[in-house]
Structure 1
Amino acid sequence: MFNRTLFLYELKRSIKLLLILGAVMTMYIVIIINMYDPQMMKTLDSFSKMMPDLMASVGMNTGTHTLLEFMVSYLYGFILLLFPMLFSILRANNLIAKYTDNGTMALLLTGGHKRKTIVITQLAVLLLAVSLLIGYTTVLELIYARYQFPHSLDTMALLKLNLGLLFLHYFIASICFFFSCIFQDTKYSLGFGAGIPIFMYVLQMLANVGGKAEDAKYFTFFTLFDANGIITDKAYGLSSSFLLLAGAIILCVLSCIIFVKKDIYV
């Protein structure tokens, strides 16, 4: 039920995109952590007062006190949501839908490879790559924050926070993979696989602004990742993220079933 050759081939193909996104995320993480000082926080607060709706839409809040609160405000509402999501959108489409669209999947099937083996292998590549990206983010934050501001970071809270972030990105990856398994045409796979997560994020941005738009939070799965709730140890903080993990498992199982049963012209 696992093809080692295909797994290593697709993992190798993922490295370039992982390195590019990892480099961009590294730049932002280092810059944001370096900005944690009273004077810079006053400057950022002044920007928030000038453009309150724009800053709130991407989760940037004023009045943060601890280093972790500062990181949550300026990293976990935009940077650490969008870049891993971009990876899932691009790779999920290439792992299944592109194979069927260009005829490569037919060659794999006629070559004696079982459908179940192919879909499980491709899914494993996607989930491992997402895990590597979030894992790298966690290690970088821990090392650099401790280097710059010793004894200022709540390590356990950060680990719980990034566990919730990982569950969120598992769910996003499973959405993208699900539509990649449904459609044989990449334009539809990308249309739904990218369109739904992006639309959900736009709803979250509207909910962050508040006012009448706040009710949008009931229509987006991003609400289940409550970064502030996790770091303040609220009862529902991390537990709501487990709903994302459960949803990811369900979508992954459905994806495999759909791919095994779908009609593929060979």
Structure 2
Amino acid sequence: MMNGVLFRRSARSLWKTWVVFAAVLSLYVSMITAMFDPKLNATLDEIVTAMPQLMNMVGMQAGSSSLGGFLINYLYGFLLLLLPLVFSILAANRLVARWVDTGSMAYLLASPNTRARVARTQALVLIAGGTLLTAYCTALAVGCAAAMFPGELDVPAYLVVNAGLLCLHLALGGFCFFASCLFNESRLSVALGAGVPVLFFLIRMLANMGGRLEKLKYATVFTLFDPTGLFRGDGAAYAGAAVLLALGLGFYALGTAVFSRRDLPL
């Protein structure tokens, strides 16, 4: 199914990038968790109310009185969507398209490895990297909440939110992987793999501003991720997460199939 040696080599090539993103997210997650204060929340709500369109654009809304709602409001509308997406874009391109672009794929395929096996291995590396990044942020937030505000966070509900976040990034990472498998040149891989998800993200920001732009939410996959609904246990939010998971698995499978059958400049 996969090549263990290639998996370890590819994982080692990404670990520095992973650590950088984990460090940046550590700063934001710990800092925002520490900012929780029911008295301070009133001040933050006043800021949101004063600039509603701008705050809504980055996913921030007034009225989050619980710690779980506070974290969802200030982490899951922007930071935990965008930063892991950038990691997936960089990692997906490095795992497939760059190998083809530099000619290294020819040496790899000269060994007793089929294209499908190579693609599956690289897909698993990307999935593992994204999963570990999400799990790390989840554990960090839960740990910070337990240390700073014991008993304030509804941990089971918060874990459900992060399971949904993982489904979202599996879908986005799967598309980035598909783009990397589709092209021989890194620039084209990044153009598609980054261009479409970033466009979806920008559409989401515009839709959050409300008014006539609100209908744009139906034109982006980010709408399928509803952290507030997941935290409350809404069935529609669960369905959206399931669709994201299916999209992710589908894109990974499609990327593997495309890479196995297309012409490569070997």
Q: TM-score, normalised by structure 2?
A: 0.98
- 2:51 maps to 51
The answer on whether the counterparts of 1:101 and 1:186 sit within 8 Å (CA) in structure 2 is yes
SS at match of 2:112: coil
1:137 aligned residue: 137
Q: In 2, are the aligned partners of 1:36 and 1:70 still within 8 Å (CA)? A: yes
* Superposed displacement of residue 3, structure 1: 1.1
Measured in 1, the distance between the counterparts of 2:176 and 2:63 equals 36
Instruction: Give how far 1:253 is off.
Output: 1.0
| Correspondence 1:175-186 to 2 at 5 A | 175-186=175-186
Distance 2:21 2:54 in 1: 24
Shift in Å, 1:43: 2.3
Letter of the 2:118 counterpart: I
Q: After TM superposition, list the pairs within 5 Å mapping 1:1-266 onto structure 2.
A: 1-266=1-266
SS at match of 2:152: coil
Return the alpha-carbon distance in structure 2 between the equivalents of residues 246 and 45 of structure 1.
36
Distance 1:34 1:42 in 2: 16
Output the CA distance in 1 between the equivalents of 2:2 and 2:249.
Answer: 18
Partners in 1 of 2:108 and 2:30 — Cα distance? 43
Q: Which amino acid aligns with 1:51?
A: M
Asked if the contact 2:204/2:223 (under 8 Å) is kept, the reply is yes
For residue 39 of structure 1, report the CA deviation from its aligned partner: 2.9
The Cα of 1:113 is off from its aligned counterpart by 2.3
User: Partner amino acid for 1:75?
Assistant: L
* Superposition RMSD in Å: 0.9
Q: Which runs of 5+ in 1 are unaligned?
A: none
Q: Is the 8 A contact 1:160 1:238 kept in 2?
A: no
The aligned amino acid for 1:200 is F
Counterparts of 2:235 and 2:265 in 1: how far apart (Å)? 50
Tell whether the 8 Å contact from 1:180 to 1:193 is kept in structure 2 after alignment: yes
Moved over 3 A (4+): none
List alignment gaps of at least 5 residues for structure 2: none
Using the alignment, how far apart are the partners of 2:124 and 2:233 within structure 1?
31
Alpha-carbon distance, 1:109 to partner: 1.4
Q: % of aligned pairs identical? A: 39
**In the alignment, is the contact (CA less than 8 A) between 2:115 and 2:259 conserved in 1?**
yes
2:14 counterpart SS class: helix
In structure 2, what residue type is equivalent to 1:145? A
Q: Deviation per CA, 1:95-153: give whole Å up to 9, x if none.
A: 00001111111111123321111101100100001010001011111111011111110
Residue by residue over 1:194-247, the C-alpha shift from the partner in whole angstroms, topping out at 9 and shown as x without a partner, is 000000001111111110000010000000001111111122122210100011
What is the TM-score with the length of structure 1 in the denominator? 0.98
- Cα drift, residue 188 of structure 1: 0.7
Amino acid at match of 2:218: Y
> Partner letter of residue 208 of structure 2?
N
Partner amino acid, structure 2, of 1:24: V
What is the SS of the residue equivalent to 1:258? helix
